[in-house]
Amino acid sequence: MTQPILSIVVPTREGLPEYWIETLLKINGDVELILAHPPGMEKLPISDPRMQ
């Protein structure tokens, strides 16, 4: 795994807007998104293949 050039912490329930995803994909290099969940909340499945 390569070292990301940008790390972003997102307080979300996996509902990252398409605009953000498209904008981040334009950055040259690896971008790391850290999805932060409230304690005790169940994680929702992510169906977007661009997010691993």
What's the pLDDT tens digit per position in 37-50?
Answer: 778 877 777 777 77
* Sign of CA pseudo-dihedral 14, 20, 22, 25: negative
Q: Please say if the pLDDT value at position 13 is more than 70.
A: no
How far apart are alpha carbons 3 and 52 in whole angstroms? 15
**Does residue 50 belong to any structural domain of this protein?**
no
Q: Please say if the pLDDT value at position 29 is more than 70.
A: yes
**Does residue 15 belong to any structural domain of this protein?**
yes
**Does residue 16 belong to any structural domain of this protein?**
yes
**Does residue 11 belong to any structural domain of this protein?**
yes
Give the pTM: 0.50
Residue 40's domain comprises 1-45
**Does residue 1 belong to any structural domain of this protein?**
yes
